[in-house]
Amino acid sequence: MHSHKQKNRQHYKQLFVIIFGVLLWFTPVPEGLSLPAWHLFAIFISIILAVIIEATSIFTASIIGLGFVILTHTLTAKQAYSGFSQGFILLIIVAFLIARGVIKSGLGKRIALLIIKKFGKSSLGLGYSIIAADMFISPAFPSNTARSGVLYPIVQALSADSGSKVNDGTRKKLGAYLMMTSMAGLTISSAMWLTAMAANPAGAKMAKEFGIEISYGSWALASFAPSLVAFIVIPWLLFKIFPPELKETPDAPLIAQEQLEHMGNVHKNEYIMGFTFIAMITFWVFSAQLHIDKTAIAFLGLGVLMLANIFTLDDLAHEGRALGTLIWFGTLYAMSSYLNEFGFMSWLGMHISNIIAGQSWPVVYVGLVLAYVFIHYFFVSQTAQMLALFSVFLSVGINADVPAEMLALMLLFATNFNAMITPQGSSANVIYLSSGYIESREVYKYGGIVTLANTLIYLGVGTAWIMLIF
Amino acid sequence: MHSHKQKNRQHYKQLFVIIFGVLLWFTPVPEGLSLPAWHLFAIFISIILAVIIEATSIFTASIIGLGFVILTHTLTAKQAYSGFSQGFILLIIVAFLIARGVIKSGLGKRIALLIIKKFGKSSLGLGYSIIAADMFISPAFPSNTARSGVLYPIVQALSADSGSKVNDGTRKKLGAYLMMTSMAGLTISSAMWLTAMAANPAGAKMAKEFGIEISYGSWALASFAPSLVAFIVIPWLLFKIFPPELKETPDAPLIAQEQLEHMGNVHKNEYIMGFTFIAMITFWVFSAQLHIDKTAIAFLGLGVLMLANIFTLDDLAHEGRALGTLIWFGTLYAMSSYLNEFGFMSWLGMHISNIIAGQSWPVVYVGLVLAYVFIHYFFVSQTAQMLALFSVFLSVGINADVPAEMLALMLLFATNFNAMITPQGSSANVIYLSSGYIESREVYKYGGIVTLANTLIYLGVGTAWIMLIF
């Protein structure tokens, strides 16, 4: 229940967003932009503002924005709803449901207890172990979306089995920290390997058009130092700024050991779940080579869980959050796609490039990377940003005598390490948000800080390292 | 919990569906069909079989079918997921969420009590009053999807306030009957007026190409007698074959009166809900003239309810059923659309027409109408069936000297009165199914009987009536 005062404050914030949006809508269109592009931007940025200042939830802001965007004919209904049938968005939704199966089967608990037994003496230790696992599997996992679907159920079980849940108000005890850390970990693990994110190889190919050769090895070598530093710094940083209430848990490994003994042998449902999960992961890893759709694999996997009664219709009935996620994420994705298609993104990129160009190359280099990171505020897809801006930024930099390979690598790293700047900045974020352990606004704040830290580490350590070794 | 024996039976059924599907898949493709069309048919019909024999739920059957259809490259992922961004499907999902707001605000209860006060002496009386209300608003409501969104919350409140709920196992006390009756009512109300369903005017336009003039008046006149008979027969028929446990409730009006007094004046949330709902309905009614998207209106309406805290994120979290509905209905819709696009539907229509043609005109007339009704088993959209088959069937009939206007009218009526033959036969069915009061298999059975009764009434009474008056 909201108090009267809180309610009033909420209404003032909502009024502020509306005034902001209306003023922006009627502001004369900047030169070089079309009217629909400007109007779409006005609605899109108003939604983001509403979320940041907590005027409404991301769901409410998105559906209202969706209504306006269609009724004002800024987008056609078909364009505005196009996000809901995007495979990678559906993958997140289905992965979220499968995660429930992992938990319900008992397998999630068992894996969580095994991790706690080994690394569970402190929350920080758990944080590190999650990211380490992520980094370990990431080179074979060319989809950070699918990888988040694998990590998420483990993180959720770790939280729940440490007594940190969403419904009873204990999310901040441990779960919020672990979820945020795993989200941050995905930005690092994706930047670490050429094959750890779907867009990375595409980016390497685009760089080749500028005569820049980026191999599996050169990528790994260049990213090694900054990724290692980020791996060390980020869990600790989040531990300081977004601390779990549960910090030291010296008895946890022993308790976990006892609980494991109490669980006894692996049950039938755990076997079915484990087998299904491993099969799904295997197909996901080889999906590109086998030309199979990752989302279809996930749908089949969920089907198996339903046939086995591990995930039931009753379970589904309580997963309304997944529907909410599909709607808000699909909406923002469609808006961002059309902002790009209407030329807003390239217009913005050009303007920023023009401002930066003409300076000395180190200034251009840093300016381009910072701008590239910052612009991700407007993008819902990492791949879309890369396709829209990577070549533009790279050519501006090369013209200003920035070392080409270094800039190309740094922009490709940035494509990954900027992913946490907004809740919608990566599909991998979304599954963690759906959990309810993390609120949208917390991502803007702490994800923003992580993005800043990532930027400092990759720009600082990474640049020095690349100049040293290349 | 399933008993061991039940579980085994379930597995036999599932095995049966798989064998059926595999055999069909490898059956030589009938002449005139492409391989993808045949394969898609094999998967689609296997899903329907699984639901009819209760091998799995409609959700499970659909997602497994979806997985196969993509992994076998029968459809591309993009084609297979295209249903999820269809506006009319999203409209059902959002209307379902808004219905929760109607209930939660207290407005649903108040309207339900007013209806019970007036018509609540028997369950049959309530059934008639729901359909009467539907028929009354339908001429101004050119979307049966939107109309179901208006009727559904009332029917739900009527059920709940009569002590019939889903979660406590009392769905058959009254709710199942009322939901089934309202679903059946929509098939009649849609057939009653030229303007009561989106496809009706389009059908009239298609008839014009054959020189057949169908006006608002001639449609209403022709449908008057059969629709009236159906209105009288159907609620009574369902009362006999699908009876509510609660039949006579002589005290209900008095109790409702007392509860209304207890509720006191209309509360603030009821005003907000009522205002939002009336605004939505108004925009829905004039959506064609104003060129506004009905689904966008619904999204905005839901947004208002969320701003007013009438529908909250916590409420959303418990609406996972809506996600399930979106997935199974979107999947079946996409498959049916591509069955049509791949030429399966016109191939089937041609074959049936060929068999029928050459007979005397009354035989051709009855045969065509029956075939048209029966073919709806394969269609998920009433409009799609009409666009695919109406002209084909009409021209076959005219060539066999069937009175053209009568056949045209009867096929257009059939486009509406066949809608209950499957759970996915109309988007209007879907919202009732989402409620949990009705199971998919019950629709196949009782919806099938209603369709049969409708067919007998419209073909019998309707034909006699049309021959009398025209």
Quickly list DSSP for B54-83: TSS-HHHHHHHHHHHHHHTTSS-HHHHHGG
B18, B299, B312: best to mutate for the A interface, most A CBs within 10 A: B299
Closest approach of B377 to chain A, Cα-based (Å): 24
Interchain CB distance below 8 Å, B303 and A14: no
Closest chain A residue by Cα to residue B82: A85
Per CB-CB distance under 8 Å, the chain B contacts of A338 are none
Tokens coding A339: 């902002």
Model confidence at A35: pLDDT above 60: yes
Mutate which of A299, A311, A326 to test chain B, going by most B C-beta atoms within 10 A?
A: A299
The SS3 assignment for B34 reads: coil
Q: Is there a contact between A57 and B319 if contact means CB atoms under 8 Å apart?
A: no
Per the DSSP assignment, residues forming a β-bridge with B122 are B248
Q: How many CB atoms lie within 10 A of CB B11?
A: 12
Residue labelled with tokens 């090895």: A217
Between CA B402 and CA B360 the distance in angstroms is: 9
Q: Say if residue B240's pLDDT is above 90.
A: yes
**Per-residue confidence (pLDDT) for residue A6, from 0 to 100:** 79
Q: Could you tell me which chain A residue has the CA closest to the CA of B81?
A: A85
Query: B379, B171 in Cβ contact below 8 A?
Result: no
Q: How confident is the model at residue B287 (pLDDT cuts 50, 70, 90)?
A: confident
Taking an 8 Å cut-off on Cβ atoms, the answer to whether A322 and B323 are in contact is yes
Helix (H, G, I), strand (E, B) or coil at A103: helix
User: What is the average per-residue pLDDT within B383-400?
Assistant: 89
pLDDT band, very low/low/confident/very high, at A335 (cuts 50, 70, 90): very high
Q: What pLDDT score was predicted for residue B388?
A: 85
- Residue B194's SS3 state is coil
- Identify the pLDDT of residue B93: 93
- What pLDDT sits at residue A1? 45
Question: Phi and psi of A220, rounded to 5°?
Answer: -60, -40
Q: Is the per-residue pLDDT at A366 higher than 70?
A: yes
A90 to chain B: which residues are within 8 Å by CB?
A: 81, 84
* Beta partners for residue A248, in sequence order: A122
Highest mean pLDDT, choosing among A96-100, A381-385, B176-180, B214-218: B176-180
| List of residues 6+ apart from A57 with CB closer than 8 A | A51, A440, B306, B313
* Cβ-based neighbour number of residue B240 at 10 Å: 8
Supply the DSSP symbol for A14: H
Residue B122: strand, helix, or coil: strand
**In this model, does residue A338 exceed pLDDT 60?**
yes
Cβ-Cβ contacts under 8 Å for B5 (sequence gap 6 or more): none
Q: Is B387 exposed, middle or buried (0-12, 13-18, 19+ CB in 10 A)?
A: middle
Put simply, the answer to whether A60 touches B303 (Cβ < 8 Å) is yes
Q: Is the pLDDT of residue B298 over 70?
A: yes
Contact A90 B84 (CB under 8 A): yes
In whole numbers, what is the pLDDT of chain A averaged over residues?
A: 93
Pick from B179, B198, B195, B245: which is nearest to B439 by CA? B179
Q: What is the ipTM of this complex?
A: 0.89
Alpha carbon distance B234, B381 (integer Å): 23
Alpha-carbon dihedral angle through residues A416, A419, A425, A426, given to the nearest 10 degrees = 60
pLDDT over 70, % of chain B: 99
Burial A285-318 (b: 16+ CB within 10 A, else e): bebeeeebbbbbbbbbbbbbbbbbebbbeebbbe
Backbone angles phi, psi at B30, to 5 degrees: -60, 150
Specify the pLDDT at position A3. Answer: 66
Q: Do B313 and A324 touch (CB under 8 A)?
A: yes
What residue segments make up the domains of chain B, in order of their start?
2-78, 85-192+217-319, 327-469
> What digits encode the pLDDT tens for the residues B146-196?
899 989 999 999 999 889 999 899 999 999 999 999 999 999 999 999 989
Collapsing DSSP to helix, strand or coil, A122 comes out as strand
Taking alpha carbons only, the member of A388, A406, A386, A384 closest to residue A397 is A406
Contact call for B322 and A324, based on CB within 8 A: no
Cα–chain-centroid distance for residue A131?
14
**Tokens encoding B97:** 């969420």
What are the tens digits of pLDDT across the range A371-393?
999 999 988 888 889 988 898 89
Quote the pLDDT of residue A455: 98
CB contact set of B52 (below 8 Å; sequence gap of 6+): B441, B444
Q: What band does B338 get if pLDDT is binned at 50, 70 and 90?
A: very high
pLDDT at A261 exceeding the cut of 70: yes
Tell me the one-letter amino acid at B2: H
Could you tell me which of B292, B301, B29, B256 has the C-alpha nearest to residue B125? B256
Question: Which chain B residues are closer than 8 Å to A86 by Cβ?
Answer: 81
Between CA B414 and CA B425 the distance in angstroms is 12
Residue A462 confidence class, pLDDT cut points 50, 70, 90: very high
Average pLDDT of the residues of chain B: 93
Dihedral in degrees, nearest 10, Cα atoms A45, A50, A51, A54? 160
Closest Cβ–Cβ partner in A67, A86, A302 for B296:
A67
Structure tokens at B21: 């599907």
Q: Alpha helices of B286-360 — where are they, by DSSP H? A: 287-290, 294-307, 313-317, 320-341, 344-356
Best mutation target among B165, B312, B327 (most A Cβ atoms within 10 Å) is B327
CA distance A218 to chain B (A): 34
Q: Which residues of A touch B330 (CB under 8 A)?
A: 85
Reported as type and span, the H/E element at residue B403 is: none
How far from chain centre, in Å, is Cα B120? 25
* DSSP element (H, E) containing B412: helix B404-417
Encoding tokens for residue B151? Answer: 């009727």
Size of interface A-B (CB pairs under 8 A): 153
CA distance A195 to A209: 19
Q: How far apart are CA B98 and CA B96, in angstroms?
A: 5
Instruction: Please answer yes or no on whether A78 and B68 come within 8 Å at the CB atom.
Output: no
CB pair distance less than 8 Å for B300 and A63: yes
Residue with token string 């204990």: A170
A323·B318 Cβ contact <8 A? no
Mean pLDDT of A201-218: 92
Residue of A nearest to B315 (CA): A320
Question: How far is the CA of A302 from the CAs of A17, A295, A297, A319, B66, in angstroms?
Answer: 40, 10, 9, 14, 11
How far CA B379 is from CA of A165, A184, A454, B24, B438, in Å, comes to 44, 46, 53, 19, 21
Tell if the CB–CB gap between A303 and B67 is shorter than 8 Å: yes
Confidence at residue B198, expressed as pLDDT on a 0 to 100 scale: 85
pLDDT at B144 over 80: yes
Q: How many CB atoms lie within 10 A of CB B250?
A: 9
Cα–Cα distance list, B89 to A84, A120, B85, B204 (Å): 11, 47, 8, 24
Distance CA B353, CA B312 (A): 53
Contact (Cβ atoms closer than 8 angstroms) between residue A304 and residue A271: no
B302·A90 Cβ contact <8 A = no
Locate A270 and state its tokens.
């755990």
What pLDDT does A16 receive?
Answer: 96
Q: Please tell me the distance in Å from A362's CA to the nearest CA on chain B.
A: 44
Do A71 and B299 lie within an 8 Å CB cutoff? no
Q: How far is CA B214 from CA B194, B202, B325, B399, B432, in A?
A: 9, 11, 36, 20, 32
Q: Cβ of B323 and A318 within 8 Å?
A: no
Per CB-CB distance under 8 Å, the chain A contacts of B86 are: 81
User: Who among B67, B316, B320 is closest to A317 (CB)?
Assistant: B320
Cβ atoms of B359 and B367 closer than 8 Å: yes
Kindly determine whether residue B303 and residue A78, on different chains, have CB atoms separated by under 8 Å. no
Q: Any idea of the CA torsion for A241, A244, A249, A255, to the nearest 10 degrees?
A: -150
Q: Is B319 helix (H, G, I), strand (E, B) or coil?
A: coil
Give the pLDDT band of residue B417 (cuts 50, 70, 90).
very high
With tokens 């009061």, the residue in question is B437
Integer Cα distance of B17 and A344 in angstroms: 51
Please report the pLDDT score of residue A188 as a whole number: 97
Nearest Cα residue to A123 out of A134, A111, A115, A133: A115
Nearest to A115 by CA among A149, A143, A156: A156
Name every chain B residue with its beta carbon within 8 A of the beta carbon of A85. Answer: 78, 81-85, 330
Compute the half-sphere exposure of residue B467: CA atoms within 13 Å on the CB side of its CA.
Answer: 10
What long-range pairs does A165-174 form, CB within 8 A, spacing at least 24?
A166/A435, A166/A436, A166/A437, A171/A436, A171/A437, A172/A244, A172/A245, A173/A244, A173/A245, A173/A246, A174/A123, A174/A126, A174/A244, A174/A245, A174/A246
Which residues in chain A touch residue B51, judged by CB atoms under 8 angstroms apart? Answer: none
Please, which pLDDT band fits residue B1 given cuts at 50, 70 and 90?
very low
Residue A277 Cα to chain centre, angstroms = 22
Quick check: A271 pLDDT over 90? Answer: yes
pLDDT computed for residue B381 by the predictor: 82
Residues 6+ apart with CB under 8 A from B343: B33, B34, B37
Cβ atoms of B91 and B427 closer than 8 Å: yes
Give tens-digit pLDDT for B46-104: 999 999 898 999 999 999 999 999 999 999 999 999 999 999 899 989 999 999 899 89
How far off is chain A from B205, nearest CA to CA, in Å? 25
**Alpha carbon distance A250, A255 (integer Å):** 10
Q: What is the pLDDT of residue B3?
A: 66
Q: What is the pTM of this model?
A: 0.90
- Judge contact between A93 and A326, C-beta under 8 A: yes
Cβ–Cβ gap B71/A295 under 8 Å: no
Q: How many CB atoms lie within 10 A of CB A468?
A: 8
